[in-house]
């Protein structure tokens, strides 16, 4: 009699083949640690791709979710619910924004931003402006418009023709962005720090230059803060480091600590692009997701995690610099800010093999872009965890 199929075998048999999951089945988490079916413990420097801001099983977040589940799970946007209104007020207080649209993911938040900008130009200004200028190596999500905005051809394969009206120029190149602006331009969409593109920092003056360009040309500046927002870089939003604000901003990932949510924040002016019936989502503003997000924001503020992220993030940056010095044949640099960091590998290094070897040694991380290992642990991570992760990576790199 043959043995029963393993969980990976069962998954391979029934799930669509668009993922390549690691051959482990995770069953529970506690703080910065995850555990699999065999009881093995892993130090989580992936955080569900920068999602689990408070780590796993945080008591305040768990309590908020349980309490809200007992009260009210869903009503749709045909009715108001208290958590959604409270969260909109809180996000407005923390940011430049006057208004908030809730959805379920980063891709949806970017879709809303794009639709808002295009519709504003046509219905409010009466102008045929529809083009959005984006950056090479950007990533804005997996819906059709979002992949059309994404500046990485690998995400376009098999989906042509893409949504028209997107122009791509090199990131950190103000001159190229200025040259791309035309009478058809309605918005510029960039990440203040590119995540999936390889953890690439905005150059000094770049975001301020984009703000000035948009002001001069009368177009919207949209910041995709899906991966960088909610304290990930040591500020509530990464664009704060540059001292500039956008007209529209997308959030998701860490906002509700693991409960799916997306949000599009905007000024009163940009919000005129929407009117009743112009855009909607059944689950957006779900009371459970909004209650979870309120708990995440409260914990980050109460526990001083922004300063913590800046401090521990600097330690992580120092640790990566030390790895570059110790293993110059394998890693050639590091990028990022706060707790979103990239360790740049030499061209010959098999990053998938490094990720796999680190997992075997009890460390979870991911790769990003063409040349980076991405480290984005929960915001609650401590200095001892950073030292442990660096030790594991040093062992892996030394064994290559």
> Using the 8-state DSSP alphabet, how is residue 176 labeled?
H
Give the ranges where the chain is alpha helix by DSSP (H): 7-14, 47-50, 59-71, 82-94, 106-119, 144-149, 174-180, 206-217, 268-271, 287-302, 305-326, 351-360, 383-398
Catalytic residue among 224, 237, 274, 371: 224
CA torsion 22-17-108-131 (nearest 10°) is: 110
Q: Which two tokens stand for residue 96?
A: 């430049």
Q: What angle do CA 41, 45, 48 make, to 5 degrees?
A: 90
* Cα torsion angle, 42, 47, 53, 58, sign: negative
CB atoms within 10 A of CB 54: 26
CB atoms within 10 A of CB 157: 8
> Is residue 224 annotated as part of the catalytic site, yes or no?
yes
Catalytic residue among 101, 102, 139, 237: 139
190 phi and psi, to 5 degrees?
-140, 160
Spatial separation of the C-alpha atoms in residues 388 and 362, rounded to whole Å? 10
- b vs e for 353-380, b when ≥16 Cβ sit within 10 Å of the residue's Cβ? ebbebbbeeebbbbbbbebbbbbbbbbb
Q: Which of 322, 312, 364, 369 is nearest to 24 (CA)?
A: 364
Catalytic residue among 96, 166, 201, 253: 253
> Is residue 154 annotated as part of the catalytic site, yes or no?
no
Q: What angle do CA 251, 109, 47 make, to 5 degrees?
A: 45
Q: Which of 266, 345, 250, 257 is nearest to 295 (CA)?
A: 257
Spatial separation of the C-alpha atoms in residues 81 and 269, rounded to whole Å? 25
The packing angle between helices 59-71 and 287-302, to 10°, is 150
Write out the catalytic residue numbers. Answer: 139, 224, 253
């Amino acid at each position: 009699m043959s043995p029963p199929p393993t969980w990976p075998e069962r998954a391979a048999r029934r799930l669509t083949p668009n993922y390549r999951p690691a051959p482990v089945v995770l069953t529970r988490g506690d703080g910065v640690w995850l555990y699999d079916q065999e009881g093995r413990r892993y130090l989580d420097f992936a955080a569900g791709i920068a999602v689990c801001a408070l780590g796993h099983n945080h008591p305040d977040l768990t309590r908020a979710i349980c309490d809200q589940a007992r009260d009210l799970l869903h009503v749709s946007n045909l009715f108001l619910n208290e958590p959604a209104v409270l969260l909109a007020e809180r996000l407005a207080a923390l940011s430049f924004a006057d208004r908030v649209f809730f959805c379920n993911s980063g891709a949806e938040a970017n879709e809303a931003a794009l639709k808002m900008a295009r519709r504003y130009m046509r219905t409010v200004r009466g102008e045929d402006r529809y083009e959005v200028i984006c950056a090479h190596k950007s990533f804005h999500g997996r819906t059709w418009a979002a992949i059309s905005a994404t500046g990485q051809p690998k995400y376009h394969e098999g989906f042509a023709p893409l949504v028209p009206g997107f122009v791509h120029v090199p990131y950190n190149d103000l001159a190229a962005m200025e040259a791309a602006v035309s009478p058809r331009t309605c918005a510029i969409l960039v990440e203040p720090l590119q995540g999936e593109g390889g953890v690439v920092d905005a150059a000094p003056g770049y975001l301020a230059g984009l703000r000035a360009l948009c002001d001069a040309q009368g177009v919207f500046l949209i910041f995709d803060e899906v991966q960088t927002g909610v304290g990930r870089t040591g500020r509530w939003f990464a664009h704060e480091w540059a001292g500039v604000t956008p007209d529209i901003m997308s959030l998701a990932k860490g906002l509700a600590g693991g409960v799916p949510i997306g949000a599009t924040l905007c000024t009163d002016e940009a919000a005129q692009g929407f009117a009743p019936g112009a855009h909607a989502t059944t689950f957006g503003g779900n009371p459970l997701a909004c209650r979870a997000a309120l708990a995440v924001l409260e914990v980050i503020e109460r526990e001083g995690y922004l300063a913590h992220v800046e401090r521990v993030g600097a330690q992580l940056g120092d640790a990566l610099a030390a790895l570059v010095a110790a293993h110059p044949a394998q890693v050639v640099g590091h990028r990022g800010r706060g707790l979103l960091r990239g360790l740049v590998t030499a061209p010959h290094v098999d990053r998938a093999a490094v990720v796999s070897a680190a997992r075997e040694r009890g460390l979870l991380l991911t790769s990003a872009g063409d040349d980076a290992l991405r480290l984005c642990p929960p915001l609650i991570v401590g200095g001892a965890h950073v030292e442990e992760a660096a030790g594991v990576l040093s062992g892996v790199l030394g064994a290559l």
